A and B are shown apart, each in its own frame.
Chain A
Amino acid sequence: MRSIEFRYAIHKRRDIPLIPVSLRTGGKWKEVWAYIDSGSFYTIFDDKVAEILDIDLTSGEKVSAVVGDGGFIPIYLHTVGIKIGEDEFGMKIGFSARLGVGFNLLGMDIFDRYRVTFDNRAKKVLFESYE
């Protein structure tokens, strides 16, 4: 089982599980940071990240997701290459212009591939690949 760990970012004594992932759709890898959010069903990046991947945003499958205020936001799903540490795989991720939070989000779909352990005492998050 391959594993990789990431230190938490800290802001005003709060632990923030923010990690770098690399994305691509055939060109060069682009490293973008994302917040690990087990409360999000989908992995969602803001629509502007789609631009650097040469993705035609609205050509993807459109779904709606409920956000914290009870409203719905449109998300367009696209299959991209994703790299976490040295692990590379393809995954469908969402892009939205109305994400409305300060982070890109790694959602529950990433937990299908990894056992994710939040170790608050050690201030780190551990990803262990199931494959």
Chain B
Amino acid sequence: MKKSQEWITKNFESLVSKYGGKYIGVVDEEVVSVALTPKEALEKAKRAGKDEEEVSLLKVPREEELICVL
């Protein structure tokens, strides 16, 4: 399992608080990009020198969306 996968799972609640409604790009244990679309998040990560295949893209739900889904 990639480091980013474990990290996102463990830190999901704080990611929702900080980035709800946005797409984030995560590499290892770091949020490397934040944007409104996955394309923009990926491009920002690439501009930061990250390999796109290493970037894990998460659509972060808003708090209220979690209540709706669950």
- A residues at B contact (CB < 8 Å): 6-12, 14, 16, 18, 20, 28-33, 35, 46, 48-49, 51-52, 68, 101-104
Contacts and interface: CB of A to CB of B under 8 A. Distances in A.
Given A48-B38, A49-B38, A102 B12 contact: no
A90 B20 CA distance: 31
B56 A33 contact: yes
Among B6, B23, B38: residue with most chain A CB under 10 A: B38
B13 interface: yes
Interface of B: 2, 4-6, 8-9, 12-13, 16, 20-21, 23, 37-39, 42, 52-53, 55-62, 65-66, 68-70
A101 B61 CA distance: 8
A32 B53 contact: no
Given A10-B13, A11-B12, A11-B16, A52 B56 contact: no
Given A46-B59, A101-B68, A18 B9 contact: yes
Contact of A29 (B8, B37, B53, B58): B53
Contacts of B60: 102
Contacts of A29: 53
A95 B38 CA distance: 14
A30 B58 CA distance: 11
User: Max chain B CB contacts within 10 Å: which of A20, A28, A29?
Assistant: A20
Nearest to B16: A11
B65 A102 contact: yes
Nearest to B43: A52
Contact of B12 (A16, A20, A32, A48): A16
Given A7-B9, A28-B52, A33-B57, 14 more contacts: A8-B9, A9-B12, A10-B12, A14-B66, A20-B56, A29-B53, A30-B38, A33-B56, A46-B59, A51-B37, A52-B42, A101-B61, A103-B65, A104-B59
